Every structure is written in C-alpha cells, then in structure tokens.
Structure 1
Amino acid sequence: MADPSFYHLYQGMYLPKFFHTLEALKRWEDFTFRRDDVIVATYPKSGTNWALEIAPLVLSGGDPTVVNSVATWERTICIGNEKALSMDLENLPSPRIFSTHFYYHVMPKSFYQVKPKVINVLRNPKDILVSAFHYYGNVEYHANPGTLTEFLNKFLEGNVPFGSWFDHVKGWLNPEDKSHILYLSFEEMLQAQDLRQEVRRTAEFLEKPLEEEVIDRITDRCLFKNMKKHNNKAPSDLDHSKFFRKGIAGDWKNHLSEEDAQHFDCVYKDKMKDVHFKFAWD
C-alpha cells in the first residue's frame, strides 16, 4: 500500500494529505454542481494543466488575461481539496472550472444527476508512469517512489497516488451517458495541427463558437513549449516548473528496461482486454 504518512485511503484512492483532508472530502460528497460547470477529470500526469489552459481560453474567447495573471490551481476548483471549500463557490460566476483525479464512481453525488461538462485527457500509461516517477521524487508532498522498477510494480497494482490508472480510465470511459464527456488525446495534442483540432473540438463541446483566428491564437498559446513558459511565470506559492517536464510521447522507451516494458504490456493487455476504445498510442 502507499505510505500512510503521506496519503489517506479514500474509496480506493490514495490521496495526498497535503491537498486533501478527510473532513474536506466528507464535505465535498454533498457539493452541488451546476449544469454549465466544466470539470477536467484526468489521471495524474495525463495533461491536466494542459486542459486547464485550453478550457478557460476557449471560454474567454481567446482572452489570456486570467490565465496570464492567475496560477492554474488558483483559478481552478480542485474537487476534494480543502482550500477550494474556503472559496465562495456558490457566488462564483458560471461557468466554473473544476479539476479532479477522482475515479468516476467517487464523484460527488450531484455529479450524476446534474451531468456537468467533463473534459477527460487520455495518455499512454507508460509515459504517465515515467512522468509520475520523476514528479513524485521531486516534490515534498509525495512519498519517495523508490526505484523505477519498484514504482512500476506499485503503479500496476494501483498502490500509487490516486489509485489505479486502469480503474480510473475504465471508469471514465464506461458511463452509460457519455454525451457530457469530451475525450482528448495527450499524444494528439503534441502536434500543432492535431492540437488545433482538439481546441476546435473543445470549443464545440463547450458551445463556444470561435473564429478561426481565435482558434489559431489559442493553439499557439497552448503549444507545450509556450504553455510551459507562460505557466512558469504565473504567480503562485508552488513551483510550476515541477508540473511540466518534457511534454513528449514515447519517453518511456528511454527509461524502462525491456523486461519492465514487457511486464507492463502483459498486465495492460489483461486489464484492458474488455475495453473497446481507440487509444492514440495503440
């Protein structure tokens, strides 16, 4: 299991105590969503901050004022985070933007009744593994991941922050009603032309018609190299640079041994055998 000195075990997920308290989690269970809320729901290191850059730019019609002046986690409501409940959420103007790494079945009760809009970003889990390994070993609010092979085994067993990647992805892919969920691909967002298409899809999903010139500006702003530069300059009490590493696909090949990669593939094949979804990395 994950180190209990760093994490709470909450409904099958290991949540970092630095961000989540049991009291706050309990209060969030009765939170009431609005139909026009926007939720970025991702497994960690899947492109969360990327989607949290695109969504507000689309909603603002390309105006970068807010994203330039306010750090991502200070303008985003993190579900289950105690800090967010100190905000006057009821009086925040719509659309409110939330983020979460929760499993689908662990969302607050009103989520399933109201069905707010959800943006879900999917990324190759082997790249997530490598990115999370470096990130968790570089911040003080996560337990040391150990060696890469040790962390790989914990990852495959779900004994890592926010639980199993397999359970998370399958849960968000399998709701009976997917009409309020948009699936984006991390791998496709890496290419400028594909990113432009993902920006357009996001605008259509959020029912925010944009001129082609605005889509071009948002796309340029959200290229990984530009987004990393802008976010590192945003004011915050946290170091933004730790949230952005290489922003590439296939980096796992530079880190995993052949034996570890084969072990990962074997577990992946077994756990995902009943999932019928075209992933960009397949």
Structure 2
Amino acid sequence: MTGFARTDGHGDGYSWTLEAKSVNGRGLDIRCRMPTGFDGIEAIARAEMPKRLARGNVNLTLSVTRTAGVSQVRINRPLLAEVIALAREIEGAGAAPPRLDALLAIRGIIEPVEEDETEARGRMEESVRADLARLIDELAAARVAEGKRLAEVLAGHLAEIERLVGLAASCASTQPAALRDKLRAQVMALLDAIPAMAEERLAQEAALLIGKADVREELDRLRAHIQAARDMLAEGGAIGRRLDFLCQEFNREANTLCSKSADVELTRIGLSLKASIEQFREQVQNIE
C-alpha cells in the first residue's frame, strides 16, 4: 500500500505542485493539505481516491504560487484616432505619411490591461483538477507495482512454510508406526500404574493420547491454508484483509502443532514454522 506520485504545473501566472504519499493502514485515511480557497480540489480528491484505493494512509499536498500578474494589451483607439487625424493634416502639408510602427510606438497608444483575476484563477484550478486526476492514476499505478513486488516476496514465504510443513510431516514422531509404538508404551504405562482401570476409562485415556500425539490434521489444514493463500495471490485485487485473516489460521495450526509435540525435532520445526508465518504476516500488512 505504499506509493508516491508528484506532478508540477504552471500557467496563467501561477505555478503549482501536487504530491501524494501512501503508507500502510488498516482502512483508507485521506489527509489533505490545501491552500485557502481550494476546498473544491480537496472535495474532488476525497471523492475520486476511494474509487482507486481501498486501504492506506494517503497524504495529499497542494502548493500554489503566484508567479506574475497576467496582463493583456489594448489599443487606445480614441488616442490613435487623434494621432491619425493629426498625421493626415501634416501629410496634407507635404510631410510623408507616418509608419504604422511609429504610430504604435507613441506612448499611450498601446496600454497594458490586467486580466480579470477570477478568470485566471478559474483556468488555473481547471488545470490543477486535470493534474489531480493524473496524480491519482500515478499513485494507483505505483501501489500496483509495489503489490507485484510484494507478491513475489509472499510467494517465497509460502514456499518456506510449505517446506517446513513437509519436514514436519516426514518427522519420525508423526509417522503412524511411531504413533502406534508411542501409544502402546503409554497404554502399558497406564496399565502398570493403575492395574484395575476399567476398559471404558482405558479407552478414553487411549483416545486422549491419540489426539495429543497425532498432528496430521494440523498439517493437512496448513497445506490447505497454503493453497488458499496462493489462490488469493493469483486472484489479485484488494486481498490484504483476507490474507490477514488467513495468517491467524496459520498461527492457530502452528501453535497447536507445537503444543502437541513431544519430540524435540518436531518442536524445532514448529518454532521455525511460526517464525516463517510471522514473516509472512508482516508482509501481508503492506498490501491492500
């Protein structure tokens, strides 16, 4: 959800800079810093950004500088008419007719006129609105590019999680034969400790031991979560919240695996699995 975009413009005696920064966030929080009198630009930004962005803290800044007064020129026609009439009188007396450039060079014939400030300001705001639309496009594109890079990172973490799940599945303590031997030893220990234990109670204890020792169900669910995460990454779009929820399920299964483990090697794998899941979760916080 990180991104940056900037655009500069100038015209009609103004120069301006639009800048947008996006960082991680649970929801969409748009903060605008605008000069006085540009509430309309802020309203447009708040209306358009949610159409392109779903999450993140976005800071939008507009700075505007008045570079020069916008002026036009006009011809003082009454004065020009008087000068031409005078020139004709002089011409009638035998003088050469005056050149046009000489007439226009006479002081007062051409006058600078300040343009209506309202019109210049209106054209400038129209240009800023067009730049704002491009800025939002650039920010969204930057976030998409960041998302593609993060997708590769997340895929790497999922591959590591899958590798650790495979190691846990191949661990000797999770194999059916090992489980049976372990259960047999524990049942014999119960019989030796309590010779008169009822068969029903013995069955209950045996079922409890089986449940505590067998982590294959947790491993199956972890595999299913890995596939679900890969499907979401392939789907694309705003999947951050869904992946965040899936991380909770990853953690739940990894915690159960560690709590059930009575084997040092399996416990070591389980702890490594939890670390990889946490790394995956941290990166998930960075996507929309």
TM-score by length of 2: 0.19
Larger fraction in helix: 2
Structure number with greater CO (CA < 8 Å, separation at least 6) is 1
Name the structure where strand makes up a greater proportion of residues: 2
The structure number with the bigger radius of gyration is 2
TM-score normalized by the length of structure 1: 0.19
